[in-house]
Structure 1
C-alpha cells in the first residue's frame, strides 16, 4: 500500500498554494509520500517545507482520505486543510518543483488537475467529498 499526504494551503485571502513538478504534468496540491516510520503529520510538515518553504504554525485539519487509483489500486492520500502557516518567501525553482504560487480559486492555472480542483471545491464550496481522487 502506498500512503501519501497533500495539503490545501489557504492564505488569508483564501488563495490556494499549488506546485508544478518537473516529472508530472499539471498543477497540484503540495505533498508526497509518507516514509516508513513517519507519521502523516510529519510527512505533511516535511513536504510543505520542501515544496513551498511553508512552516506549519498551527495544527492542520484532516479534510479526508482518498483512493488515488491513477497510481495504483492501493494508493491512499490523506488531504489536510492548512490555514496556519508561515512562509518567508516562495522557493526558487529546482529539479523537483519548477513553479509554485498562491492562486484565486476562480483563477487556477489551466493545467490544474481534476483531483486538485475537486479537493479545492470541497474545501472552499463545501461540496460533498468524493472518495476517489479522480
Structure 2
C-alpha cells in the first residue's frame, strides 16, 4: 500500500481547490451514509487527508449525483447500491471552499460483492456501530450522524 507523504497533505488540497476555482464556478460532491442490516455505518479513511469520512467524491461534468454516488461507493468500498438512495440534504462545505457543496444520501439497500481492499486513495473502509465509532471521525461526519440518527436539527453547512 502506498501512502502519500503526510507533508504533501498541507498543500495538495488547497492546490486542487485553487485549480477548481478557475476551472469551475462551483464544486459539487456526494457522500453516502451507508447503513447495514445491523445499523452499522460505513466509514472510510483516505491516504491524503486525516479522519474518517462517509464515502463519496466529486460529481463530474455530465454525471448525475446518483451516478457519481454509485461510482464512488464501488470504487471506495466495493459497495453496489441495489435500491434508490434517499436524499438527506445539500450542504455548503465552506471549510474546504466557499464554492464547495456536498449532497448527502442515505443508502440502506446494497451489496458488497467483494471485500474492501486498500488502494492508493482509500486505506481503510469498515462498518462501525454508531456507539463505537473510530477515533478521528470528522466533525462534518459526526454532525450528519447526529442529524440523521439523534434528531439534531439539520445544518445547511457541512
With normalisation by structure 2, the TM-score equals 0.82
Q: Which runs of 4+ in 1 moved over 6 A?
A: none
Structure 1: gaps of 5 or more residues: none
* Higher radius of gyration, 1 or 2: 2
**CA RMSD across the alignment:** 0.8
Q: Secondary structure at the match of 1:79?
A: strand
Equivalents in 2 of 1:18, 1:90: separation in Å? 14
Equivalents in 1 of 2:90, 2:115: separation in Å? 28
Tell me what 1:62 maps to. Answer: 87
Map 1:49-128 → 2, pairs under 5 A: 49-128=74-153
- Contact in 2 for aligned 1:6/1:80 (Cα 8 Å): yes
Structure 2: gaps of 5 or more residues: 1-25
Find the partner of 1:14 among 28, 39, 61: 39
- Which structure is higher in helix share? 2
- Which structure is higher in strand share? 1
Equivalents in 1 of 2:74, 2:86: separation in Å? 17
Structure with the larger RCO, 1 or 2 (CA within 8 Å, 6+ apart): 1
